[in-house]
A and B are shown apart, each in its own frame.
Chain A
Amino acid sequence: MSRSWAVISNYSIYSATAVFALSFIVHAIETAWAVKVPAAGKSSLDYTRNGRAARIATALMILGFLLLLVGVVARGISASRAPWGNMYEFSITGALAFSGAYLAALRKYDLRWLGLLVSVSVLLTLGTAITVLYVPSAPLVPALKSEWLVIHVSTAIISGGVFLLSNVIATAYLVLDRIESKGERNTWAKRLPSLEVLDQLSYRLVAFVFPLWTFSVVSGAIWAESAWGRYWGWDPKETWAFITWVAYAAYLHARVTIGWRGRRAAWLCLFAGSTFLFNYVYINIWGTGKHTYSGL
């Protein structure tokens, strides 16, 4: 029974990867089409010429998200636990959270310009997960058998997905800022929102997710207290979670209290996000300490 769920999960994730690849291609076509549109004098493009491509790309993204959802849930059922016990599972769940965050934000803001970046990030994450990180579905080691697994890891994954999204937007800000400092935006860049909007959006995502990240760290401490006998031990993962927390706290202070905007804020945001990424990649794969459940 659990075996067939594992098979369903694998097929769903393969299909999701293929659909994200298609979505990536259509997003690329959409962007390429936009370059051809002569938009002299217009600050933003109308979507009339590439609207169909944009709709197809988004529809494919939704399909990919749903397939991925099935894959992640089936993986959880096959192992009868929350599907985030190793690097492969973190990655597929992370990709789910990331694409989910994009689709949710798309309902409110016109973020279609981000689609290319989102689909390629998800594609790379899933590709790495399938080829490098894959481990067969299995139950957990005793230390992970706790209700805190669901709470701690899910909040960490959601926080990570949103941090990543805000980093993508901060990067877009810096690139466009550079282009604008040299002159007018070129054709493809005209499709993207104004610098001010990007600046605000990247900040709002961080402000929204910072309490969640705080909660994730605190829930980890509560779990560590019952599993390892101490709530804080400067384990490499804990240390870097702390560094990420401090870096985002500094970012929020710089913005809200001192009034940093624009370029400086974007760099600080990127720095904070990179500490999270470092924690995820480096500590999970090469690091030591009590968080090494990567299954590699």
Chain B
Amino acid sequence: MSNQIQIPELDGTSLARYLWRQLTSMRTALILLLLLGVAAIPGSLFPQRTQNPMQVSDYFKNSPEQAEWLDRFWLFDVYGSPWFSAVYILLFISLIGCVLPRTIEHLKNARALPPATPKNLSRMEHFQQWSSNGSELETARAWFKKNRFRVLESEGSISAEKGFARETGNLFFHLALILVLVGISFSSLFGMRGEAILNVGERFVNNVTSYDSLTFGKLYRDSNLQDFMLTADSFVAKYNVLTGAPEDYTLDVSLLQGEEGIVEKKTMKVNSPLTIGDTRIYLQANGYSPVVTVVDSQLNVAFQGPVPFLPQDSQLRSIGAIKAPDAEPAVGFVGSFLPTYERDGANGGISVYPEALNPRLLLAAWVGDLGLDSGTPQSVYRIDTSKMQQVGLKALKPGESFAYPGGVITFEGYVQWVNISFVTDPGKKFALLGAIVSIIGLLASLFTRRRRIWIRVGEKVEIAGLAKNAAPGLEEEITEFIQRLKGDK
């Protein structure tokens, strides 16, 4: 016989079991939890494609080499990156591996009675004894019942236990977090999000081509788009007269749904979106669109209509680009729209109030190749002037025209534009339900104490108690119990 210690071989199954045990251990879960917090940090330090694509492309323009390296580590897409996903997926696997066995165990225990009263109560905590008057057991039974303890009675003793809600709450909290994650994934598969800029007076028809940007979940189909038309009837922005800060935005729309062709009037505000079926429609940003007409050297109308300009400051100084590639010669205007114009010594033209009280359109005319056929996508608010030549500058009031060498541009007036988001988020109700259940579970698990109280009545009354996790408050409870038994109260 050899007395060597048998070392179990680490074959496939036992290795897998070992790894599973490591992954579902509390220590690993804790490290993953902290890692999740740390992994979320870079996303708040670098601009993210999902929130701020403009800033990301600026980053690439300003420091291309650094940007390329950052991009290699998904630092512009942190929350969709493999490493961030790896952390939370591992965390949730660990969580499921930890919570499921506990749930089964808890369900098994749900109807179990507390273990029998220990033989030697004097060794337990909170031990007290005094001589019996005979009626204590009955009083104790009533007290336990009133305070909703589970009890096991045997031969002159009661073993009582309370606080199952602690584990129940704890399990519900963790299971609800899984529900939140399920809701989020459900939305990313079946959801839809689109944006469109709409000039006041224009109509939006809900199909793929109407959107300025549109992202579908992996399992969302074009045919899921709801059938509706939306017309922006009027838009009112109210500003504080002293500070120019916005106070209220109201957008009135006409909504045409389905086949019947009934037009409904609706009002949208920032905190009250429209709901059509499972699509919610939000009023997001707004700004001004100068309306211009460009007539070229051949007297053809090369461009006509409103052009959305992007607001740059709180007084809605806005910049934009008017492009007329088909004009003869091809022309582009780099423009600023100033709703309430004033001259400022240092900065030239500025806007001093966001409402259009004294609007002005400042234009720089550029002639040459606009580069629209080059294949590289261009911002509609900017012009690549590298192959162009500046031929003139002008500030226009509404109704005025500017004759540049090669044509005439007329500033007809302005309309307002609104940016509208269209969102289908079918998983959000699950996420919300999960969040609510998790809070309730959390409250139950943090404020319930699991404890046992024992009483044995013979010649003497013996009392003892045990609090799990050294939870406080048992001492007071036992004191109250004893007072009741002794008839002090």
| Neighbour of A250 across the interface among B33, B40, B248, B280, CB < 8 A | B33
Residue among A208, A229, A234 with the most chain B CB within 10 A? A229
Known interface pairs A138-B245, A139-B240, A239-B40. Does A211 touch B30 (Cβ–Cβ under 8 Å)? no
| Neighbour of B439 across the interface among A215, A239, A246, CB < 8 A | A215
The smallest C-beta distance from A288 to any residue of chain B, in angstroms, reads 8
| Neighbour of B443 across the interface among A211, A247, A283, CB < 8 A | A211
The smallest C-beta distance from A230 to any residue of chain B, in angstroms, reads 7
Q: How far is the CA of A281 from the CA of B196 in the complex (A)?
A: 35
The smallest C-beta distance from A156 to any residue of chain B, in angstroms, reads 15
The smallest C-beta distance from A134 to any residue of chain B, in angstroms, reads 14
Residue B296, interface by CB 8 Å? no
Q: Which residues of A contact B226 (CB under 8 A)?
A: none
Q: How far is the CA of A246 from the CA of B34 in the complex (A)?
A: 7
B37 touches A243 (CB 8 A): yes
Q: How far is the CA of A200 from the CA of B193 in the complex (A)?
A: 47
Residue B425, interface by CB 8 Å? yes
Residue A145, interface by CB 8 Å? yes
Q: Which residues of B contact A233 (CB under 8 A)?
A: 50-51
A246 touches B36 (CB 8 A): yes
A53-111: which residues lie under 8 A (CB-CB) from chain B? Answer: none
The smallest C-beta distance from A254 to any residue of chain B, in angstroms, reads 6
Q: Which residues of A contact B240 (CB under 8 A)?
A: 138-139
Residue B60, interface by CB 8 Å? no
Which candidate, B62-70, B145-153, B268-276, B410-418, is the interface stretch facing chain A? B268-276
Residue B247, interface by CB 8 Å? yes
Residue B79, interface by CB 8 Å? yes
Residue B41, interface by CB 8 Å? yes
Residue A168, interface by CB 8 Å? no
Residue A210, interface by CB 8 Å? yes
Residue B29, interface by CB 8 Å? yes
| Neighbour of A218 across the interface among B30, B284, B421, B435, CB < 8 A | B435
B284 touches A229 (CB 8 A): yes
Q: How far is the CA of A184 from the CA of B183 in the complex (A)?
A: 56
The smallest C-beta distance from A190 to any residue of chain B, in angstroms, reads 25
Residue B43, interface by CB 8 Å? yes
Residue A179, interface by CB 8 Å? no
Q: Which residues of B contact A140 (CB under 8 A)?
A: 247
B37 touches A246 (CB 8 A): yes
Residue B405, interface by CB 8 Å? no
Q: Which residues of B contact A258 (CB under 8 A)?
A: 26-27, 30
1/0 per residue, CB under 8 A from A, across B316-342: the answer is 000000000000000000000000000
The smallest C-beta distance from A239 to any residue of chain B, in angstroms, reads 4
Residue B298, interface by CB 8 Å? no
Q: How far is the CA of A221 from the CA of B79 in the complex (A)?
A: 17
The smallest C-beta distance from B49 to any residue of chain A, in angstroms, reads 11
Residue A175, interface by CB 8 Å? no
Q: Which residues of A contact B272 (CB under 8 A)?
A: 226
The smallest C-beta distance from A121 to any residue of chain B, in angstroms, reads 25
| Neighbour of A231 across the interface among B26, B193, B249, B431, CB < 8 A | B431
Known interface pairs A145-B271, A211-B442, A221-B435. Does A243 touch B247 (Cβ–Cβ under 8 Å)? no
| Neighbour of B44 across the interface among A207, A208, A236, CB < 8 A | A236
Residue among B27, B51, B240 with the most chain A CB within 10 A? B51
Known interface pairs A235-B51, A250-B34, A253-B30. Does A226 touch B442 (Cβ–Cβ under 8 Å)? no
The closest CB in chain B to the CB of A143 belongs to B270
Residue B159, interface by CB 8 Å? no
Known interface pairs A243-B41, A246-B37, A275-B37. Does A226 touch B29 (Cβ–Cβ under 8 Å)? no
Residue A33, interface by CB 8 Å? no
| Neighbour of B271 across the interface among A208, A227, A256, CB < 8 A | A227
| Neighbour of B51 across the interface among A139, A234, A250, CB < 8 A | A234
Residue B16, interface by CB 8 Å? no
Residue A142, interface by CB 8 Å? yes
Residue A146, interface by CB 8 Å? yes
Q: How far is the CA of A289 from the CA of B43 in the complex (A)?
A: 12
B33 touches A249 (CB 8 A): yes
Q: Which residues of B contact A246 (CB under 8 A)?
A: 33-34, 36-37, 40
Q: Which residues of B contact A242 (CB under 8 A)?
A: 37, 40
Q: Which residues of B contact A283 (CB under 8 A)?
A: 44
B248-286: which residues lie under 8 A (CB-CB) from chain A? Answer: 248-249, 269-273, 280, 282, 284
Residue A131, interface by CB 8 Å? no
Q: How far is the CA of A211 from the CA of B444 in the complex (A)?
A: 10
A239 touches B43 (CB 8 A): yes
Residue A47, interface by CB 8 Å? no
A142 touches B247 (CB 8 A): yes
Q: How far is the CA of A45 from the CA of B176 in the complex (A)?
A: 49
The closest CB in chain B to the CB of A139 belongs to B247
Q: How far is the CA of A15 from the CA of B247 in the complex (A)?
A: 32
Residue A214, interface by CB 8 Å? yes
The smallest C-beta distance from A114 to any residue of chain B, in angstroms, reads 20
The smallest C-beta distance from A225 to any residue of chain B, in angstroms, reads 7
Residue among B37, B50, B428, B443 with the most chain A CB within 10 A? B37
Q: How far is the CA of A227 from the CA of B423 in the complex (A)?
A: 12
The closest CB in chain A to the CB of B284 belongs to A229
Q: How far is the CA of A140 from the CA of B249 in the complex (A)?
A: 12
B423-447: which residues lie under 8 A (CB-CB) from chain A? Answer: 423, 425, 428, 431-432, 435-436, 438-439, 442-443, 446
B68-93: which residues lie under 8 A (CB-CB) from chain A? Answer: 78-79
Q: How far is the CA of A230 from the CA of B421 in the complex (A)?
A: 10
Known interface pairs A142-B270, A143-B270, A246-B34. Does A229 touch B442 (Cβ–Cβ under 8 Å)? no
B397-425: which residues lie under 8 A (CB-CB) from chain A? Answer: 421, 423, 425
Q: How far is the CA of A222 from the CA of B240 in the complex (A)?
A: 28
Residue B57, interface by CB 8 Å? no
Residue among A218, A258, A287 with the most chain B CB within 10 A? A218
A211 touches B37 (CB 8 A): no
User: A208-B446, A239-B44 known; 19 other A-B pairs, CB under 8 Å?
Assistant: A141-B246, A142-B249, A143-B271, A146-B271, A210-B446, A211-B443, A214-B439, A214-B442, A218-B436, A223-B271, A226-B271, A227-B282, A229-B284, A233-B50, A239-B41, A242-B40, A249-B33, A250-B30, A254-B30
Instruction: Give 16 CB contacts A-B under 8 Å.
Output: A138-B242, A141-B245, A210-B442, A218-B436, A223-B271, A226-B271, A227-B282, A229-B193, A229-B423, A232-B184, A239-B40, A243-B37, A249-B33, A250-B33, A254-B30, A275-B37
The 8 closest A-B pairs by CB, nearest first: A246-B37, A229-B282, A236-B44, A142-B270, A229-B421, A239-B44, A146-B271, A218-B435
